[in-house]
Amino acid sequence: MKQEDKIETEQLILEAAKKVFIEKGYAGARMQAIADEAQINKAMLHYYYRSKEALFSKILDSTVAIMAKQILPVLSGKGTVMEKVELLVGNYIDTITENPHIPMFVLNELAQDQVNFQEKMVAQMQNDDVFSKFMMQIMAEQKQGLLLPVAPHHFMLTVMSLIIFPFIAKPIFTGVMNIPEFMYMQMMQERKQIVIEIIKKSFVK
Amino acid sequence: MKQEDKIETEQLILEAAKKVFIEKGYAGARMQAIADEAQINKAMLHYYYRSKEALFSKILDSTVAIMAKQILPVLSGKGTVMEKVELLVGNYIDTITENPHIPMFVLNELAQDQVNFQEKMVAQMQNDDVFSKFMMQIMAEQKQGLLLPVAPHHFMLTVMSLIIFPFIAKPIFTGVMNIPEFMYMQMMQERKQIVIEIIKKSFVK
DNA sequence: TTTAAGTTTAACCGTTTGGTTAGTACAATA
DNA sequence: TATTGTACTAACCAAACGGTTAAACTTAAA
């Protein structure tokens, strides 16, 4: 049927584009490669999504949304800083294990900023100033004596480093240091506990 | 004079190529942009370095060499694990502060691996199995009771995360969270102490 | 059964890309 | 001074690129 075919094709294109863009980056991605991946004609890409930029923009939006909907509710929810961090670590590692290319993709495009990506991130992330409020909570718990008096910026940067970087560094382990895939995956699971312990020892009184 | 001009031009091209490649990545870099940056004719690039790939390869080699000569001597030198880590943290943060795009560049090209980059890293890094030996040292100090019994892989991954990621995340802070450049630079200097403290609290008995 | 609207295709287009070429300018050599 | 080798340039080329077009096909409604 017509309507269903259309929706199928649209979805097919999105998935193919996601794969190619995330693997190759914006500059390295080829419209023909996306068409091949989706097993459709190249003209269809422009029929459904006007241009390469427009298609890329869609992928970027949905990718950021995946992460935002994973992170923002936790940060703005109830619980102590450490309870939130524990949730974050688990959630994030599980989500990224399923889409391991996302962090590299986001950070790379953010660094090169070819498609006014920053504004989109700002729009998604500064919703209700979730980050500012979380930093306020950190400072509050520091005054209460629950957390050590380390600058909130450094606290957040540390948490981010510990959970995001291992996925960016995957090729170093599997490629350069020759650690097999399954062992790397196992490490990522072990990370959950290790990261939480590191943060507790470093920032909790 | 002829000879001097040649050396000057060669160097000019290398510096221009380094800038453009590191900022834009291999796929995003344009030979014309490199020529413009070096204020020379585009044909000169091919006169001195046969192709885009060849030129890129040169840049990649020298970039990896910069990092390797910063890291390998420390790891294979004398001193306890923690003494080595303290040296590494300081050296690395200072080196990268001067070339802030290097980590993103290396990790991105490693992930996309368009130019058999992995082999080069392996060749540079597995010199004398420096990493294996360092991991052995970690295990030895754990048996001595100097370090807590955490898997050496996780120890190294943690150290790498804490010192490399902050530079990759720069656009998040300056762009998305709107933290001014000088404040970010100040954070990177403060990091030296903070990272060392985190590692001590997390891994030293 | 006709019609109109939406979907898909092949073939094509203009531009940009990495790369080449034929030739110029000039310094060193003999 | 004639010659030779090297640094450099403008002009060009074929291929790859993102994007368009016009026509064919499919389907649902009139």
CA of A3 vs chain B CAs: smallest distance (Å): 37
Per DSSP, the three-state class of A147 is: strand
Instruction: Identify the pLDDT of residue A161.
Output: 97
A205 touches chain B (CB under 8 A): no
Q: Contact B25/A28 with Cβ under 8 angstroms?
A: yes
Going from N- to C-terminal start, the domains of chain B cover: 1-49, 66-203
Question: φ and ψ at B29, to 5 degrees?
Answer: -75, 145
Separation between Cα atoms, residue B64 and residue A51, nearest integer Å: 37
CA B165 vs CA A12, B75, B171, B174, B188: distances in Å: 34, 20, 11, 14, 11
Instruction: Identify the pLDDT of residue A2.
Output: 47
Separation between Cα atoms, residue B36 and residue A168, nearest integer Å: 32
Separation between Cα atoms, residue B168 and residue B188, nearest integer Å: 12
**Phi-psi group of A128: left, alpha or beta (phi > 0 → left; psi -120 to 50 → alpha; rest → beta):** left
Instruction: Identify the pLDDT of residue A112.
Output: 85
CA A114 vs CA A109, A111, B12, B24, B104: distances in Å: 7, 9, 26, 9, 16
Residue closest to sugar C1' of C10 by CA: A41
Beta carbons of A111 and B101 less than 8 Å apart: yes
Longest CA–CA separation in chain B, Å: 64
Superfamily of B66-203 according to CATH? Tetracycline Repressor, domain 2 (1.10.357.10)
Instruction: Identify the pLDDT of residue B129.
Output: 85
Residue to mutate among B20, B52, B99, B168, with most A CBs inside 10 A, is B168
Instruction: Identify the pLDDT of residue A16.
Output: 97
Instruction: Identify the pLDDT of residue A115.
Output: 59
**A105-161 pLDDT, tens digit each:** 999 988 887 657 777 777 776 666 888 899 999 999 999 999 999 999 999 999 999
Beta carbons of B201 and A201 less than 8 Å apart: yes
Q: Contact B127/B72 with Cβ under 8 angstroms?
A: yes
Q: How confident is the model at residue A1 (pLDDT cuts 50, 70, 90)?
A: very low
Separation between Cα atoms, residue A17 and residue A32, nearest integer Å: 10
- Using a CB-CB cut-off of 8 Å, the residues of chain A touching B169 are 107, 157, 160-161, 164
**A55-98 pLDDT, tens digit each:** 999 999 999 888 888 899 999 999 999 999 999 999 999 999 99
Q: Contact B112/A23 with Cβ under 8 angstroms?
A: yes
User: Gap from A3 CA to D27 C1', in Å?
Assistant: 9
Check whether residue A3 has its CB closer than 7 Å to nucleic acid strand C. yes
Instruction: Identify the pLDDT of residue B124.
Output: 73
Class of domain B1-49: mainly alpha
Separation between Cα atoms, residue A114 and residue A26, nearest integer Å: 8
A114 touches chain B (CB under 8 A): yes
User: Gap from B115 CA to D7 C1', in Å?
Assistant: 30
Q: Scanning the structure block, which residue is given the tokens 């309870």?
A: A83
Beta carbons of A172 and B23 less than 8 Å apart: no
**A155-198 pLDDT, tens digit each:** 999 999 999 999 999 998 888 888 999 999 999 999 999 999 99
Direct distance between the N- and C-terminal alpha carbons of chain A, in angstroms, rounded to an integer: 63
Give every residue of chain B whose pLDDT is below 50, as ranges: 1
A78's CB contacts (< 8 A; 6+ apart) are: none
Cα A112 to chain centroid distance, Å, stands at 17
DSSP B176: I
Burial of A171 (0-12, 13-18, 19+ CB in 10 A): buried
DSSP A50: S
- How wide is the angle at C-alpha B148 spanned by C-alphas B167 and B86, nearest 5°? 40
CA B35 vs CA A67, A101, B14, B21, B44: distances in Å: 39, 33, 10, 12, 8
| pLDDT exceeds 60 at position A7 | yes
Task: Nearest by CB to A112, from B24, B114, B197: name it.
Answer: B24
- Using a CB-CB cut-off of 8 Å, the residues of chain B touching A23 are 112
Check whether residue A9 has its CB closer than 7 Å to nucleic acid strand C. yes
Query: How high does pLDDT run on average in chain B?
Result: 91
CATH 1.10.357.10 fits A63-203, yes or no: yes
Separation between Cα atoms, residue B2 and residue B111, nearest integer Å: 41
Separation between Cα atoms, residue B105 and residue B61, nearest integer Å: 12
Instruction: Identify the pLDDT of residue B177.
Output: 82
Instruction: Identify the pLDDT of residue B1.
Output: 43
